[in-house]
Amino acid sequence: MTALDGLGYAFDPLDRASYLREDASAVARLRARPDARVVLIARDMPVLGKAATGLEPLMPLAEVEALGGARVEALLGRLPGGAPVFAALLNDDAVVEQSDASDGFLDRRVLVIPGRNDLKMVDLRSIASGGLVPPAETSLLASAKALLAWHARRGFCSNCGARTGIGAAGWRRECPNCGMHHFPRTDPVVIMLATDGDSCLLGRQPRFPKGMYSALAGFLEPGETIEQAVRREILEESGVACGAVRYFASQPWPFPSSLMIGCFAQAESRRVTVDRIELEDARWFERDEVRAMLEKRHPEGLSAPVPMAIAHHLIKSWAGG
Ligand SMILES: [Zn+2]
């Protein structure tokens, strides 16, 4: 058990082996190893093998060809024992959309791979929140999904418009026309808990599950420090001014490719003015009330986010004193 037990996507076991990315023959030798494995993504969703023990995200590389080849393949790195792991983006037509009536919702749509009842497509949020695969493997899926989502949408040069090719074992796109190199994006998001003594500031977005309150969050803007973004987002969303900002921990958030930067902020004012465009509500909560929300025993049924989200750990850390 660590302090961040249950946090999703944050326990990548790989040596990313970035020194091998420019060496095509070394990558080819890794690909030929019998212990090489691949993480499959199709239409932004992981493809998992159904094993006797549960769902299996790491599959033999032969599956790539069996499923019609890949649009993009990338070397993710090597597992602690040395086995190489690749990520492959299957062609969109490897997958079809079907209606699924299995849980009573007649018009629910699911993605399936025709003729392959031994494979299952599951969205990555459900995999992490449901603990459907071990944490380290959830991290592999997150890396693969974020990287391949970038490839899937960046086929053309943003400088000149020409079609780009793939370099650096899947970690770069290169323009044959203007020569520009393009690298996978990570979008930083600040997520922060404003505190004042025994109170903390929580808000809820309309899309949250009923009764759930969380830490405020927002995208970092060009030219901002993390500290400035934390203060600006809290002020914009709640009207509360903050001073000192302290870093807590971070979490990859592959929807599509963010990094959540968790912080605490010292509030310097109390009056809350909710930004109704961003939030349904925001208010101060006392420490005892927050503990009840974390432990799912709040008298009004209010709750905090689940452990797969960094907001849970920010709030829990503060609530524990
Ligand atoms: Zn170009």
User: How many A from CA of 100 to the centre of ligand 1?
Assistant: 43
pLDDT at 107: 65
Name residue 126's amino acid.
Answer: S
pLDDT at 99: 79
The candidate with the shortest Cα–Cα distance to 196, out of 246, 262, 265, 247, is 265
User: How many A from CA of 173 to the centre of ligand 1?
Assistant: 10
Residue 254, classed as helix, strand or coil, is coil
User: How many A from CA of 316 to the centre of ligand 1?
Assistant: 47
CA angle 253, 225, 321 (to 5 degrees): 65
Distance CA 44, CA 74 (A): 15
Determine contact, residues 292/298, Cβ cutoff 8 Å: yes
pLDDT digits (tens, 9 = 90+) for 221-259: 999 999 999 999 999 999 999 999 999 999 999 999 999
pLDDT at 1: 44
User: How many A from CA of 157 to the centre of ligand 1?
Assistant: 5
Mean pLDDT calculated for residue range 173-189: 98
Strand segments (E) across the chain: 37-42, 45-51, 54-56, 59-60, 70-78, 84-90, 96-100, 108-112, 119-121, 165-167, 172-174, 181-182, 187-196, 199-204, 216-219, 242-253, 258-267, 281-286
User: How many A from CA of 87 to the centre of ligand 1?
Assistant: 25
Q: Count the alpha carbons within 13 Å of 149 in the hemisphere toward its beta carbon.
A: 18
Mean pLDDT calculated for residue range 210-227: 98
Determine contact, residues 48/120, Cβ cutoff 8 Å: yes
